[in-house]
Amino acid sequence: MSQEVKKTIKKDDRKAIPIFFVILFVSMIAGGVIGFCVGMLREGIDVKFADMLNRFIVKALPYGLYGVIAMVAIVVIIACKKSRREFYVWDGEDEEVLNKIEMRLGYALWMVSLHTIFNFFVFSASICTGLLDRVHGDKWMEMIIILGGFILGTAAVTIEQQKLVNLEKEMNPEKSGSVYDVKFQKKWMDSCDEAEKYQIYQCAYKAYKDTNSLCLILWVFCTISGMYFDFGLMPTIIITLVWGTMITSYTLESIHMSKKN
């Protein structure tokens, strides 16, 4: 390594270090103050908030689930119908029309993905709050509502994804892969050209950076909230596992690719 390069590296570090230590110091003070306040709050206030939140979730979730299923289905149906109509009357010249259609379908797919996660969340929340344990008396109805909602939600997102993907394939015949195929992601990726793959890689890197920051924020939240809500070590363990897996997966793949090149 030349002396010039070494000097540049040291210069970059010297420039960034003071700001780094200021942020570190401020974070330590802020963490200490928040932790102290939470500790004081815990002494003085009844933990009614957690109970209220729990009860609200238990009561509202099963009905909210059906509302979300209906809402997402309506959005996807409208998006697909409008996009298909606009595509088949497209004159082949105005690129803005196709760009608008692509954007609409992109947002619809995003809603379906969020719906999938919400579906899983509601099912887990039902189990964790003991809703599915109530198999006696008139609580059978609650269990049927929740299980039925989960199954209906899963079927709905699968069909919605199929409709959106198939419409994409109608508009872009070079694309291949069926959502029912276990190798769908690989087949779809293989049918993407160089610019599409580059776009996917850019988006994946942004997702990696954002999730990295989120893991740190969640770690802080769990550490401080653990004093108030007393929910044990499990949330911190899960965040650690997710964070560790993400970093390890990225780094090992990076090392592997360096060896290949």
Q: Which parts of this chain interact with other proteins (CB under 8 A)?
A: 92-93, 95, 98-99, 102, 172, 174, 192-196, 198
Q: Report the nearest approach of other proteins to the CB of residue 171 (Å).
A: 9
Q: Report the nearest approach of other proteins to the CB of residue 185 (Å).
A: 18
**Is the Cβ of residue 59 or residue 206 nearer to other proteins in the bound state?**
206
Q: Report the nearest approach of other proteins to the CB of residue 176 (Å).
A: 13
Q: Report the nearest approach of other proteins to the CB of residue 95 (Å).
A: 6
For 159, the token pair is 């069909």
**Is the Cβ of residue 57 or residue 98 nearer to other proteins in the bound state?**
98
**Is the Cβ of residue 139 or residue 197 nearer to other proteins in the bound state?**
197
User: Which of 210-217's residues contact partners 24+ apart within 8 Å by CB, and which partners?
Assistant: 211/242, 211/246, 212/243, 212/246, 212/247, 215/239, 215/242, 215/243, 215/246
Counting Cβ atoms within 10 Å, is residue 191 exposed (0-12), middle (13-18) or buried (19+)? middle
For 247, the token pair is 């970093």
Distance CA 222, CA 183 (A): 36
Q: Are 170 and 87 in contact (CB under 8 A)?
A: yes
**Is the Cβ of residue 46 or residue 93 nearer to other proteins in the bound state?**
93
Please enumerate in sequence order all residues whose Cβ is within 8 A of that of 86, keeping only pairs 6 or more positions apart, or say none.
97, 100, 101
**Is the Cβ of residue 43 or residue 193 nearer to other proteins in the bound state?**
193
Q: Report the nearest approach of other proteins to the CB of residue 206 (Å).
A: 16
How does DSSP assign 126-154, residue by residue? Answer: HHHTTGGG--SGGGHHHHHHHHHHHHHHH
